[in-house]
Structure 1
Amino acid sequence: MLFQIITFLLDVVVGLLTGLCLLRLYMQAQRIPFSNPVGRLVFALTDWIILPLRKIVPASGRWDASSAIAAYLLQMLQYVLLWLMMGAGGGQALWLPWLALCGVLRVALSGCVGIVLIYTILSWVQTRSPIAMVMERLAEPLLRPVRKVMPLIGGIDLSPLVLLVLLQIGLMVLAYIQAGVLM
């Protein structure tokens, strides 16, 4: 039971920090100003890991490699800690980098689900808050490819629903691949 509690807490804390690093990466790629409440929160919670990495891997272009590396290192740390807690079996250590990559992808897909859900809910209530504008700018690039294929049905945009289903399928496939490595 203690192992399950520690695993859960590690997953929550590391998942949150990984998600924030990936959100920082995505917000920078979308050129969303960090002067809004979401941006300030992301900076406040990720500067401690990203700023030291920037000295080693400077930012170039739209994509901030130090944010991606930070997300990967956080996931790697989580899997190393879990591996050590389970007794540090020799052969399984080779799979830790792969598991960390799957962990980053899982957090990225889950983050996309969260962005689409929050965007959809905020679009229903028609709020014009700074957070709603940020969520719109984050969700639109994700929804655009689905909207090209999925027409409005009765004047209603079902692209968020279709995207959520596709993201859930992606999470299932990722879980299957990750479990296949561990078998």
Structure 2
Amino acid sequence: MNEGMLFLVQTLFSLYIMAIVLRIWLQLARADFFNPLSQFIAKVTNPPLRPLEKVIPSRGRLNLAAVVLGIAVSVVAIYVRVLLVGANPDVLALLIIGVRYFISIVLQVVFWMLIIRAILSWFSRGGNPLEYVLHQLTEPLLRPVRRFIPAIGGLDLSVLFVIIGIQFLRILVGM
């Protein structure tokens, strides 16, 4: 029973943190706000985020309130996981592990967006609104890599190199 509850809690928290990460990323990339994915992310994250935005100002395109919310939800997720295991949580350790967990989820979201974009590029012709947002989100990551690694025989290897870099960072974060 405890393992099932642990899985359920971890999955629900991870999905919500992913939504917060997408909210931050959509704003950083200035992605189309009227896209159905953007609208869904905004509706899911607005209830806790609106009050925080009144207290914590944004820095340019970076929504600091969303970053604080993401880290806070990550800390709560780790806290609940520790309680379900039956351990005694240390506040400083919770904060450090929560930040690492948030960074890990950021890297995980970027990884999966790149994978989805690569797979869609094999089959889709570009008319899908989801594909348009994926392009808006991932292109700022891929463009700098393309300057150093041009397409070889018509194959764009920039996605592969960015994915390798993300996996390296995930190993460094250790989550």
Per the normalisation by structure 2, the TM-score is 0.91
- Aligned residue in 1 for 2:99: 101
Q: CA deviation at 1:88?
A: 4.1
CA distance in structure 1 between the partners assigned to 2:107 and 2:166 by the alignment: 6
Of 163-172 and 43-52, more deviation after overlay is shown by 163-172
Q: CA deviation at 1:71?
A: 0.6
Q: CA deviation at 1:27?
A: 0.9
1:120 and 2:130 matched:
no
- Aligned residue in 1 for 2:75: 76
* SS of structure 2 residue aligned to 1:8: helix
CA distance in structure 1 between the partners assigned to 2:3 and 2:166 by the alignment: 27
- Aligned residue in 2 for 1:30: 29
Q: CA deviation at 1:62?
A: 0.8
Q: CA deviation at 1:18?
A: 0.8
- Aligned residue in 2 for 1:181: none
**1:85 counterpart letter in structure 2:** L
Residue segments in structure 1 that go unaligned for 5+ positions in a row: 179-183
Contact 2:35 2:129 in 1 (8 A): yes
Per the normalisation by structure 1, the TM-score is 0.87
CA distance in structure 2 between the partners assigned to 1:4 and 1:141 by the alignment: 39
Query: Which aligned runs of 4 or more in structure 1 are off by greater than 6 angstroms?
Result: none
Residue segments in structure 2 that go unaligned for 5+ positions in a row: none
5 Å-filtered alignment, 1:14-93, equals 14-89=13-88, 92-93=90-91
Of 107-116 and 9-18, more deviation after overlay is shown by 9-18
List per-residue Cα deviations over 1:120-166 (Å, max 9, x = no partner). 12222223122111110101011122212222111211111121122
Contact 2:126 2:132 in 1 (8 A): no
CA distance in structure 1 between the partners assigned to 2:74 and 2:172 by the alignment: 19
CA distance in structure 2 between the partners assigned to 1:79 and 1:103 by the alignment: 8
Q: Compute the RMSD of aligned alpha carbons.
A: 1.6
* SS of structure 1 residue aligned to 2:138: helix
- Aligned residue in 2 for 1:4: 3
List per-residue Cα deviations over 1:46-82 (Å, max 9, x = no partner). 1111112112213342111111111111101111112
- Aligned residue in 2 for 1:110: 108
